[in-house]
Each structure stands twice: as structure tokens, then as C-alpha cells.
A and B are shown apart, each in its own frame.
Chain A
Amino acid sequence: MSTYTLTYFNGRGRGELTRLILVSAAVQFEDVRVTWPDDWPGTAQADSPLGQLPYLTIDGIKITQSLAIARLVAKRFNLAGSDDLEQAKTDAVVDTITDLQNAFYLVAFKDEPDALIAKFIAEDANTHLERIEKIVTLYGTEGYSVGSSLKWSDLHLFDITSTFLALDVNILDKYPRIQAVRRTVESNDKIQAYLKDRPETSF
């Protein structure tokens, strides 16, 4: 049995996807939440492989880069797809969602983000959401982004679109397949229990 320690800030950000994967697979893990300015930068940054968070420690080995981490645990716990082509489709969905996440982070963490965020929601978000709707329609079935069983791409879709729904409750109105995937994730027993208990954080 491997031991897993996830080290990230006290927030969802780039750490939440791996938390959701481990939770849905019912895998025990240590959820280390680094606070700043007490721990970060300080010793916590020195301990991280590239001076960044998150990283995952598996049996003493540190793996960095949030998607590399997430893919590893998704594969180990059968959430990545049943063959290499399905895994490629899952990777493609994940990357399309990450394009939205990265574009948003470019504006969201600036000093005075409110106007930039409003502009992003009004102008840029839909370009990305249309692509996500398109790719899950291409590769998935009703309620699943790829194939017909839960994948890490469903969890990533849920995680990232949750942020946008909090900014605009109607933002997914035009995207029924995205909504269907969200319902699948929300109605998953283990995820439901986790979502009730997880800390409320600002990001």
C-alpha cells in the first residue's frame, strides 16, 4: 500500500483535482495545507521540488506539476480510461478544461481583478465552454465526458466550472452536456460526502 501526501495551499486552486480523485477512489491521503506567510515561502517552498505547489509525495518520492500528479493517481485508481486511446481522449478533455482554468488564472490573481473577471466572464469564458461542450459531446455519453464511466476529466470539469457558476449562476445554461457531467459528479456518494465536509476557502 503506497502512502500519499498532497502538499498545497489551503485552497482548491491546482490542488483540488487530485483531492477529488483520491476521494472518489476512497484512497487515504495526507492533505497538507500550507499557510502563508507562516509556512510559505519559508521551509515549505524549500521542501518543494520546483519551489511551487502542489506536489505529491508517494512513498517518499516527490512528484510536481498538478496534472502529472492527478494523471498518476487517476491511472492508479482506474479513473483515466480503459485503454490508451480512451486515456488520450480523457487527457484531451482535461487539457481543454485547463485552457479555461489557465486563461482565468491570468486575470483572477491580479491585484484588482474584479473588472478583469467580469470582462472574462462576458467575453472569453464562452469560447472555452463551447469547446468543452463540443469535446464532451464528441467523446462522452450523457453524464460522462469520456465513455460511460467516471473519469478524472469529469472531476476536473466539475471543479473548474464550479468557480464560474459562483461568478455567474447562468453561465452554463447553454451547455447541457457540461451540466449533465456536473450532475454525475455531484450525485456520487463519496464526492457528496467530501463536498459537505471540505473547508470553505477563498480560491
Chain B
Amino acid sequence: MPSYKLTYFNGRGRAELTRLIFAAAGAQFEDERVADWPGTAKADAPLGQLPYLTVDGVKVPQSLAFARLVARRFNMTGSDDLEQAKTDAVVDSVSDLQNAYYLKVFKAKEDRDAVVAQFLAEDAVSHLEKVEKIVTLYGTEGYSVGSSLTWSDLHLFDVTSTVMTLNANLLDKYPRIQAVRKTVESNEKVSAYLKSRPETPF
């Protein structure tokens, strides 16, 4: 049995996707949440950044690289290499939205209201349209790719949850995105996890 330890801050951020994958798979992992940063934790991190995953003693940084590994091992990446490529493509389109959020909204300070308004009016719309388009192209009702739960569904759920805190009606025009969220929310293991996970500011 491989052993997994996920090291991140006490927050969702770039680690929550992998926590959701473990939860959906019903798999055990050590959920290390660093309070003392930089401290020794930064020196321990392969690239001086969080998160990283330790798999049987081997450290893997880069959140999407290790999320993909875990998803693969628990059969949530798609049934063949072409489906895996489609899942990767959906993940990357969702990450485009996530990165825009981190670049603009997460870092905003005094001008936050203006930044959020611009983000919602322009970036969010542009990225959500693409996500709606790609899940319509590759998926079926309730699934971003094919017709079973993949890590791209979990990433879509996670990132849209964060962006919806800016505007609860944000997804009104995107029915396929909403349908994927419903699938994830109604998954037994995931909904149990969502009920019990800590509330954190990010």
C-alpha cells in the first residue's frame, strides 16, 4: 500500500483538488497543514513552495502534476489516453480561470472592489464560456469528460466554488458547469468530506 502525505497551508488553494480526489477515492492520506512558514517547512519543500505530495518518501511538487498522479492511481483520469488528454484539457481550462483569480483578485488590496468588478465582467466570463464549451464538447450531462467522475469534475467544482464567493449568480448562464457541480456535490464520499472539512479563508 503506497503512503501519501500532502503538505500545504491550512487552506483549500492549490491543494484542495488533491484532497477531493483522495476523498472521492475513499483513500487514506496524511493531510499536513503548515502553520509555521517559511520556517523549516520551506527548506523541506522541493522548490521552496507549497503544496507538494510525498509518495512513498518521494516528494513531488506542482499541484497539477501530483493531482494527476493520484487521479490516475484511483481511476479518475479517463479510460484511455485520448480521454486522459481531454481530461487534462478540461483541467487546464479550469486552471486558466483559477490562475486569473489568483493573479488579480487574490492579490488585490486597496483597489479590490474595482479589481473584482473587472474580473467578474471580463476574465470570469471569458474563462467560464470556455469551460462551458469544453465540457459540452467532451462530456455528457453532469460530467466534464465522458460519463463518469473524473478529476476534471472535481477541479471544476473546487475552482467555481471559490469564484462564486464573489457572485453567487456567476454560473447562471452555464448549465453544463452547473450540472457537473451537482454531480460532485451529490457524490456520497465527496459530500461527507465537504461537511467535515475545516472552514478556511482561502
Contact = CB atoms under 8 A, between A and B. Distances in A.
* Residue from the set B72, B88, B99 with the largest chain A CB neighbour count within 10 Å: B88
B82 A92 contact: no
Contacts of A92: 60-62, 65-66
A68 B66 contact: no
A180 interface: no
Q: Which range contains the number of B residues in contact with the other chain?
A: 20 to 34
A134 B46 contact: yes
B108 interface: no
Contacts, number: 83
A67 interface: yes
Nearest to B134: A50
Interface in B57-86: 58, 60-62, 64-66, 68-69, 72-73, 81-82, 84-86
A69 B88 CA distance: 9
Contacts of B86: 63, 68
A27 interface: no
Interface in A75-123: 75-76, 84-85, 87-89, 91-92, 94-96, 102
17 contacts: A49-B134, A50-B134, A51-B130, A61-B82, A67-B92, A68-B88, A72-B81, A72-B82, A72-B88, A84-B72, A84-B73, A85-B55, A85-B58, A94-B65, A95-B62, A131-B48, A135-B61
